[in-house]
């Protein structure tokens, strides 16, 4: 019987992002409150003789099949463990690429969580602690450790100083991605131009959480449509808060009740990616078995 091991990789949402001073190594110190959404990629692994990579090509978001963070996570895991297992890899990608939702980091993190589960099932292996995959994750990217935890968090430093938080529940989030892929590196390069400008705007609060993004001005300079999206979000009746996540270009809105979610298809360009749902906390034991793939690849 064919058995697939399945795990979800949730999108990351920066409720705020404060860029602080630059360190001697050229990286900026950051502070950010983040949560994770029910918007997920699905990753399936099956033991195999060779590594092969497959994607659900019905989805509009496709990653490089030969160079991506899933493969990097597998190779880095092998490097640290000398575990020589090979896999058939199947990815059902629903998180837009280069959107500021941390899809690549989420995929890498979920892959490490899945590999640790499979590794620890083997009685011949010493049990691997969570701290080990956090270490491996940090080698893959600054967002990966927080995506391994996948709960309400406050990040500081380079994003690797992580504190567990509890943010308001039972709210509804909607995501608007104007199909503009922004490079985090490019946005930070433009940040130096805008960092000393006084950007006066009305303070936006999600209960006691300040909604703010230090990268909004540089991101908007690269992708002016972000400003248009935020103007529409601001005018939605009963909206609690709105902003831009990560380095853009995805924007988000928050409402208290599902009935307050407007007809987003009428408000925004039909070529935009639109999603709505709730945030969630994800457990490390979310690996499940599947006899069949949920989608044809």
Under-50 pLDDT residues of the chain: none
Query: pLDDT for 83-141, tens place per residue?
Result: 999 999 999 999 999 999 999 999 999 999 999 999 999 999 999 999 999 999 999 99
The predicted pLDDT at position 200 comes to: 62
The predicted pLDDT at position 286 comes to: 94
d(CA 12, CA 100): 8
CATH number of the CATH domain containing 83: 3.30.230.10
The predicted pLDDT at position 3 comes to: 85
The domain total for the chain is: 2
Q: Is residue 218 part of a domain?
A: yes
CA neighbor of 176 nearest in space, from 13, 56, 32, 17: 13
Please give the residue range of the domain that contains residue 31.
4-164
Same domain for 40 and 159, yes or no, is: yes
On the question of a cis peptide bond just before residue 252, with omega within 30 degrees of 0, the verdict is no
The predicted pLDDT at position 2 comes to: 78
Q: Do 47 and 1 contact (CB within 8 A), yes or no? A: no
235 C-beta neighbours (distance < 10 Å), count: 11
> How far from the centroid of its chain's Cα atoms is residue 252's Cα?
13
Q: Is residue 284 part of a domain?
A: no
Same domain for 271 and 185, yes or no, is: yes
Same domain for 63 and 144, yes or no, is: yes
Same domain for 124 and 245, yes or no, is: no
Same domain for 135 and 199, yes or no, is: no
Q: Do 243 and 252 contact (CB within 8 A), yes or no? A: yes
Same domain for 37 and 152, yes or no, is: yes
CATH number of the CATH domain containing 201: 3.30.70.890
* Reduced 3-state DSSP string for the chain: CCCEEEEEEEEEEECCEEEEEECCCCCEEEEEEEEEEEEEEEEEEEEECCCEEEECCCCCCCCCCCCCHHHHHHHHHHHHHCCCCEEEEEEECCCCCCCCCCHHHHHHHHHHHHHHHHHHHCCCCCCCCHHHHHHHHHHHCCCHHHHHHCCCEEEEECCCEEEECCCCCCCEEEEEECCCCCCHHHHHHHHHHHCCCCCCCCCEEECCEEECECCHHHHHHHCCHHHHHHHHHHCCCCCCEEEECCCCCCEEEEECCHHHCCCHHHHCCCCCEEEEECEECCCCCCCEEECCCCCCC
Same domain for 78 and 152, yes or no, is: yes
d(CA 188, CA 294): 39
What are the backbone angles phi and psi of residue 143, rounded to the nearest 5°? -85, -15
CA neighbor of 63 nearest in space, from 24, 95, 17: 95
Q: What is the maximum alpha-carbon separation in the chain?
A: 63
Q: Do 137 and 109 contact (CB within 8 A), yes or no? A: yes
Q: Is residue 97 part of a domain?
A: yes
Same domain for 146 and 179, yes or no, is: no
Q: Is residue 225 part of a domain?
A: yes
């Amino acid at each position: 019987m064919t058995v697939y091991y399945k795990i979800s990789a949730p999108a990351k949402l920066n409720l705020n992002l404060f860029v602080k001073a630059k360190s001697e190594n050229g990286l900026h110190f950051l502070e950010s409150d983040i949560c994770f959404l029910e918007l997920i990629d699905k990753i399936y692994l099956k033991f195999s003789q060779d590594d092969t990579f497959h994607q659900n090509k019905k989805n509009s978001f496709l990653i490089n099949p030969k160079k991506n963070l899933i493969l990097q996570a597998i190779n880095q895991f092998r490097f640290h463990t000398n575990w020589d297992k090979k896999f058939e890899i199947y990815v059902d990608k629903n998180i837009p690429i280069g959107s500021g939702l941390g899809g690549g980091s989420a995929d890498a993190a979920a892959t490490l969580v899945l590999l640790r589960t499979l590794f620890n099932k083997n009685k011949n292996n010493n049990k691997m602690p969570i701290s080990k995959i956090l270490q491996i994750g940090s080698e893959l990217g600054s967002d990966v450790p927080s995506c391994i935890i996948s709960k309400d968090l406050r990040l500081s430093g380079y994003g690797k100083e992580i504190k567990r938080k509890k943010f308001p529940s039972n709210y509804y989030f909607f995501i608007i991605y104007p199909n503009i892929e922004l490079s985090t590196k490019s946005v930070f390069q433009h940040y130096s131009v805008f960092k000393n400008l006084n950007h006066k705007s009305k303070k936006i609060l999600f209960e006691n959480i300040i909604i703010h993004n230090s990268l909004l001005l540089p991101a908007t300079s690269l992708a002016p449509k972000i400003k248009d999206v935020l103007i529409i979000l601001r005018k939605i009746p009963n909206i609690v808060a709105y902003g831009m996540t990560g380095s853009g270009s995805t924007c988000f809105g928050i409402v208290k009740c599902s009935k307050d979610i407007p007809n987003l298809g009428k408000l925004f360009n039909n070529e935009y990616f639109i999603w709505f749902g709730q945030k969630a906390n994800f457990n490390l034991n979310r690996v499940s078995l599947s006899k069949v793939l949920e989608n044809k690849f």
